[in-house]
Amino acid sequence: MPIVAGDVLDGRFELERSAGSGGMGVVYRGVDRESGALVAVKTVRSAGGAERFQREVEILAGLRHPGIVTYLGHGSVGDELYLVMEWLEGVDLAAHLVLAELAVGDAVGIAVQVASALGAAHRQGIVHRDIKPSNVFLVEGRPDRVKGIGKRDWVDHDPDYDSLRDDPRFQAMLSKLA
């Protein structure tokens, strides 16, 4: 039986409504019954992408930074897997840019905050390979989180990055950005 709105996962995460869907599954808006906080619950059919999804869970669970979406839990129901994250209320940078241009100061502020989040991931050996406006989330016009965690986006111990990471010039640049 598939996961649907109204379900309660792990006795804790109550799914309110579908917030979107893609080729791999559905994202639901829900509420954490323990904290009362809104949550995003991403689901995927295990037959279609269990290995990729598990890698996404492992990477996100290990990352802690105020600029990276927060992992809250994961599990499975029948043949569906789910990942619970904090709910983000706002718009991604791509959607924002359709409506309005960014002032230079705002663009610099976004770049600095995104670099800080990416620097935190890099220090843990994680490289985001798909940083783009749709993976930068804005709240009230300000950068809030980097999203888009997945096998194609985040690569653990990328060989090109490993050699670059050992370069002292690259280390100095990361230190300045963080």
CA 43 – CA 53 distance, rounded (Å): 9
Could you tell me the pLDDT band of residue 149, with boundaries at 50, 70 and 90?
very low
Average pLDDT over residues 112-118: 88
8 A C-beta contact, residue 18 and residue 5:
yes
Buried b / exposed e along 146-168 (16+ C-beta atoms within 10 A):
bbbbbbebbbeebeebeeebeee
What are the structural domain ranges in the chain?
8-86, 91-177
Question: What DSSP line would sit under 89-155, residue for residue?
Answer: -SEEHHHHHHH-PPPHHHHHHHHHHHHHHHHHHHHTTEEES---GGGEEEETTEEEEE---STTTEE
Averaged pLDDT score across all residues of the chain: 81
CB contact at 8 A, 33 and 20: no
> What CATH number was assigned to the domain covering residues 8-86?
3.30.200.20
| 14-73: pLDDT as tens digits | 999 999 887 778 999 999 999 999 999 999 876 667 787 888 888 888 888 888 889 999
CATH for 91-177 is 1.10.510
Which residues are catalytically annotated?
130
Tell me phi and psi for residue 92, to 5 degrees.
-80, 165
